[in-house]
Structure 1
């Protein structure tokens, strides 16, 4: 079993790789049987290095100014938090990282807030993954299906929420 110091070293490498957009370094912190649980769907997870590399290969170029600011936990379970930007949308993320006996990350469960950031991520990620798989028609369909949701949540956050939160 890994020690707390080894786990903290792994998550430090994970955070630094994400901030540098260094996909190879990020992948080196993940176990071969890694499972990534997305904030976008409870119906599916990304399993294994190949699928997670494809996912992170699409996500890393989308996200700017990624800065981790918290890393808490023990030798088996760590929680890291960060801020970033997706286009002009500010976002916060939290990731629950589970580590295996060799000190590598075996599971990532991600949360993103606020809702407009999450829907903007969905609008960019679905089409990006479809394009990465060579499914251009599906990419266009996903973009058309999700863009209205992203627009409505952004509009609601900027325009409607202030109407009910101001006195």
Structure 2
């Protein structure tokens, strides 16, 4: 497999993400693709159906996805991107591992800063909970994660500046 093929596939993955084009994104993924969440070691999505549901939810809450970095070789690529979740900006890094057919077999995602990560959790949690069909779960998830998002946003705005200002 050549790096040229991975360049083309990575370019297609990036274009699909920027366009919020789920079908084009799924075309870059192996049928057995595994997505490792930045939110929890316990959150793992496998196969086109689960990963497709996840990206449908992601595309419903994120805007302005723009990839700015793509480095790697014919087996592994690291992509860097920026996006917006409402007024909150975020950065993501996605590690893509390719299978023998040249498709994305594994995605591991990281997101920063912490307020963006917890805001994403608060936005995606109820959406993903609704897809389970379990009554009451979206409300429970929302009640559990929204305080965390609020606390990290407030801490970032009020405490972090106090810690990063020069001392007299």
Match of 2:77, SS state, is: strand
Query: Which one has more relative contact order, counting CA pairs under 8 Å at least 6 apart?
Result: 1
After TM superposition, the structure 1 = structure 2 runs for residues 5-24 of structure 1, keeping only pairs within 5 Å, are: 5-24=4-23
Q: In 1, Cα distance between the equivalents of 2:2 and 2:23? A: 24
User: 1:57-108: per-residue Cα shift (whole Å, max 9, x none)?
Assistant: 1011211110000111000000000000011111000000000111100000
Deviates more, 1:107-116 or 1:156-165: 156-165
Aligned to 1:124: 123
Shift of 1:136: 4.4
Q: In 2, Cα distance between the equivalents of 1:164 and 1:73? A: 36
Matched, 1:34 2:33: yes
Aligned length: 166
Aligned to 2:46: 47
After TM superposition, the structure 1 = structure 2 runs for residues 154-165 of structure 1, keeping only pairs within 5 Å, are: 154-165=153-164
Runs of 4+, deviation exceeding 2 Å: 132-136
Deviates more, 1:43-52 or 1:86-95: 43-52
Q: In 2, Cα distance between the equivalents of 1:48 and 1:26? A: 13
User: 1:87-138: per-residue Cα shift (whole Å, max 9, x none)?
Assistant: 1111000000000111100000000000000000111111110112333410
Aligned to 1:73: 72
TM-score by length of 2: 0.96
Gaps of 5+ in 1: none
After TM superposition, the structure 1 = structure 2 runs for residues 129-148 of structure 1, keeping only pairs within 5 Å, are: 129-148=128-147
